[in-house]
Structure 1
Amino acid sequence: MSKTIKDQTVEELGGSSSILVRQRREHREMDELIDQYLTLDDLQRRERVLKQIVQLVFSHAFAEETVLWPAVRASVPDGEELTARVEQEHQQINDLVADVERLPAGDAGREDKVRRAFALIRQDIRDEEDLLLPRLQDATDTARLRTLGTTWAAVRQTAPTHPHPVVPRRPPGNALLGVPLSVYDRVRDALGIGSIASRRGR
């Protein structure tokens, strides 16, 4: 099996448009934002960073579940088992962040849920980069990795940006619900609904 995608070159991963490179790039962004959140003391700045993390994580995961995991199940011998594990992690993150979004900043249990979600996000990244994506790399040629990357990026741009725990993790259910949820989420983001500022204003 190929080694973790974390340590491979862009060329080894199929070029800049490859799904493997795109995945790793966003994983690193998530990791950096989490580190930033954990070092900040100012509440408003922390909330802005948390909003960035949530938007990135959920649009990223939706594109994975819609485009990438079906490809893994179709091409990797134990793809069903591997993707089921990651989907379970996604569901746990969904549930935790949905709770976080319902709780006011400063709530005693909110920060604990944030940190638990962060730990799961980082575990999910390792499972994907160390186990699942190397298996896809072994089973897929470079042209296919690039096609998957382009499709994933297109879905990612129109994906929901907040947790929706009751939405199915697999197509066609997630794809059918994705369009209206994406519109709802992106209007909500543009208006600042659900942010610390909007909760204080109400």
Structure 2
Amino acid sequence: MGHGGDVIAELTADHREVDDLFAEIEKAPAGSDERKKLADRLTIELVRHSVAEEEHLYPAVREHLPQGDAIADKELTDHSKVEQLLKQLEHRDADAHDFDKIVAELRFEVTSHVHDEETNLFVKLRQTCSAERMEELGDKIRSAKKAAPTRPHPGAPNTPPLNKLLAPGTGFVDRVRDHVTGRGK
């Protein structure tokens, strides 16, 4: 969850973790409890990552990049699609008839989003932001992930200031629920 380095190193490491979790889900026996547990871990990582990007990366994109508003809005639309799929997945057991279809659709959306971020957005951000700003954003991303929700909340605000105000409280409630149910262990 916290890797160190500037914002791009942090988020890229998250992307590789998510790739690994998709691969583990694919290897797990169809319909198994292991597959559902891996999907829960994937959900936790994706939600934390998305919330941190929404709180800190996309405001920086709006501030530092030409046409930053349009870029950030597109990224938020991608997040919304992913969050809707995560919400569907949250309510499915691994033996549900559409579980694997939802995972496949989720993987497609996440992979497309990651590719776009890594080949376009991150390159542009590195060209326009100082090394100090990139490090500062990395620290903010790591801090935000620690307090972020662990479950999808599609109706929650995804832009400042409301997301920064509500996410820690929602995150606390999610972590309590996870502890009580054993989710994500």
Both proteins in one fold, TM over 0.5? yes
Structure 1 match to 2:21: 33
Match of 2:5 among 11, 17, 23: 17
Structure 1 distance, partners of 2:122, 2:68, is 10
Equivalent residues of 1:86, 1:127 under 8 A apart: no
Match of 2:155 among 150, 156, 166: 166
Greater C-alpha radius of gyration: 1
- 1:109 deviates by 2.0
Per-residue CA deviation, residues 55-74 of structure 1 (Å, 9 max, x unaligned), is 11100110000011101100
Equivalent residues of 1:61, 1:90 under 8 A apart: yes
Per-residue CA deviation, residues 21-68 of structure 1 (Å, 9 max, x unaligned), is 111111001001101111111611111211111111100110000011
Structure 2 match to 1:132: 121
- 1:79 deviates by 1.2
Structure 1 match to 2:88: 99
- 1:102 deviates by 1.9
Give the fraction of aligned pairs with identical amino acids, expressed as a percent: 26
Per-residue CA deviation, residues 67-117 of structure 1 (Å, 9 max, x unaligned), is 111011000002111111111111011111111212333221232112211
Structure 2 match to 1:44: 33
TM-score norm. by structure 1 comes to: 0.84
Match of 1:105, as an amino acid?
A
Match of 1:82 among 65, 71, 75: 71
For these two proteins, the number of residue pairs brought into alignment is 180
Task: Kindly report structure 1 stretches of 4+ aligned residues shifted beyond 4 Å.
Answer: none
SS in 2 for 1:60: helix
Per-residue CA deviation, residues 126-171 of structure 1 (Å, 9 max, x unaligned), is 1111111111111001111001111111111110111000012211
Structure 2 distance, partners of 1:104, 1:34, is 16
Unaligned runs of 5+ residues in structure 1 are 1-15, 196-202
SS in 1 for 2:97: coil
Structure 2 match to 1:121: 110
Structure 1 distance, partners of 2:17, 2:29, is 20
TM-score norm. by structure 2 comes to: 0.92
Where in structure 2 are the equivalents of 1:46-61 lying within 5 Å? 46-61=35-50
